[in-house]
């Protein structure tokens, strides 16, 4: 039986949180999505959504696209089921932003208070 030790460069929850606290950097969605599923990851996702972006707009999580989180993620499914997140479909093209027949619409997960913002 071969015992494999965890690689020291592999990110763990404690290392990610300590790095964010020590550097004073804002949590990034990319860093949070690499964490293993669980209560701490859900807490970080909700905290990330509560903080506004650089322009002051509410955060949103793009889903179901290439290189994006998928709705099959167990944490996202649980947060949607509990009503803490809501699916919201973005508008269409630049010329007709609210065109619902456009093929270039994006699905986002947002807090229920930020739907349509």
DSSP H helices, 34-100, are 39-50, 74-82
pLDDT tens track for 70-111 = 999 999 999 999 999 999 887 766 666 666 666 677 889 999
Q: At 18, is the pLDDT very low, low, confident or very high (cuts 50, 70, 90)?
A: low
- The predicted structure's pLDDT at residue 75: 95
Lookup: tokens for 68: 């994006």
Average pLDDT over residues 17-28: 58
- The predicted structure's pLDDT at residue 2: 46
User: Is residue 3 over pLDDT 50?
Assistant: no
Lookup: tokens for 82: 């509990």
User: Is residue 7 over pLDDT 60?
Assistant: no
User: Is residue 13 over pLDDT 70?
Assistant: no
pLDDT tens track for 23-73 = 544 568 888 888 899 999 999 999 888 888 788 888 889 998 888 899 999
Q: What residue ranges do the domains of the chain occupy?
A: 13-114
3-state class (DSSP) for residue 31: helix
Give the residue among 6, 8, 11, 10 at the shortest CA–CA distance from 44.
11
């Amino acid at each position: 039986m071969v015992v494999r030790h965890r690689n020291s460069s592999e990110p763990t929850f404690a290392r990610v949180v300590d790095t964010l606290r020590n550097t004073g950097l804002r949590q990034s969605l990319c860093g949070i999505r690499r964490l293993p599923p669980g209560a701490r990851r859900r807490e970080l996702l909700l905290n990330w959504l509560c903080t506004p972006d650089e322009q002051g707009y509410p955060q949103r999580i793009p889903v179901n696209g290439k290189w994006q989180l998928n709705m099959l993620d167990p944490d996202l499914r649980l947060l949607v089921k509990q009503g803490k997140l809501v699916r919201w479909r973005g508008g269409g093209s630049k010329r007709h932003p609210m065109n619902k027949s456009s093929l270039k619409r994006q699905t986002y997960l947002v807090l229920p208070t930020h739907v349509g913002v």
